[in-house]
Amino acid sequence: MKDILFVDACMRGPETSRTWLLSQSFLSACQARWPGVNIRRRDLSACSLPPLTAALAEERDRRFLNQPQDPMFDPAREMQGADLVVIAAPYWDLSFPAALKIYLEWASVLGITFHYTREGVQEGLCRADQLVYITTAGGPLEGQNFGFDYVRGLGQMFGISRAHCLSAQGLDIQGNDPEALLAQAREEALQLASRL
Ligand SMILES: Cc1cc2nc3c(=O)[nH]c(=O)nc-3n(C[C@H](O)[C@H](O)[C@H](O)COP(=O)(O)O)c2cc1C
């Protein structure tokens, strides 16, 4: 394990985000397991990627032919080259913050993260074979973890065949003990890192 891509969609920032806290437990466990591993953070709260319009998509196709090293392709290249992809995103409106969807649109580039074979079959081009999706939710996720379902599906399109979800749920339900729920999830983070 050399390179971990950490896609940080914790929009409340490291100071307040519980998802961020949980992600740090997981990443620390990864560092303990693979000393010297390089963690590349893509901070989506500070990221100004625009939503992909038709004009931008056409521009992207043009640049892919003429300027394939353009920074516009950085999200796709970092996704393609990582050995492990870790995505941290709070549970917002049954999925995740829009900034993550925008990032994933920029990571989905024909010829970098996926392609089609001569027979017309879609094939993933990413190096990683696993991704970890980390989330925390105010209520329960059960049956409605649509953000994870989507990321898992997109990962498969990219050739990342296995996806794991690490979560803490029910943090905003009155009567629950969010600290205890988070502590339990942090324990699960250590276990997950040890069996990847
Ligand atoms: C904009 C927004 C949307 C949310 N939507 C949901 C939701 O649909 N279901 C839910 O259970 N909690 C929802 N929550 C609560 C968060 O999932 C919960 O507080 C989570 O722990 C926040 O993560 P963070 O501390 O990393 O920001 C929402 C919170 C915000 C700010």
Tens-digit pLDDT profile for residues 117-151? 999 999 999 999 999 999 999 999 999 999 999 99
Residue 191, pLDDT > 90, answer yes
pLDDT bracket for residue 177 (50, 70, 90): very high
Q: Decide: residue 49, CB within 10 A, 0-12 exposed, 13-18 middle, 19+ buried.
A: middle
Identify the residue whose C-alpha is closest to ligand 1 atom 22. 90
| Residues 109, 112, 114, 118, CA torsion sign | positive
pLDDT bracket for residue 47 (50, 70, 90): confident
Among 160, 108, 164, 161, which residue's Cα sits nearest to residue 135?
164
Half-sphere exposure of 91 (CA within 13 A, CB side): 23
- pLDDT for the residue 68: 93
- pLDDT for the residue 135: 98
Half-sphere exposure of 145 (CA within 13 A, CB side): 21
Q: Is the CB of 80 under 6 A from ligand 1?
A: no
Whole-number Å distance between alpha carbons of 160 and 153: 9
Identify the residue whose C-alpha is closest to ligand 1 atom 24. 17
Q: Is the CB of 155 under 6 A from ligand 1?
A: no
**Model confidence pTM above 0.95:** yes
Identify the residue whose C-alpha is closest to ligand 1 atom 20. 137
Tens-digit pLDDT profile for residues 63-80? 999 999 999 999 999 999
Q: Closest ligand 1 atom, CA of 139?
A: 11
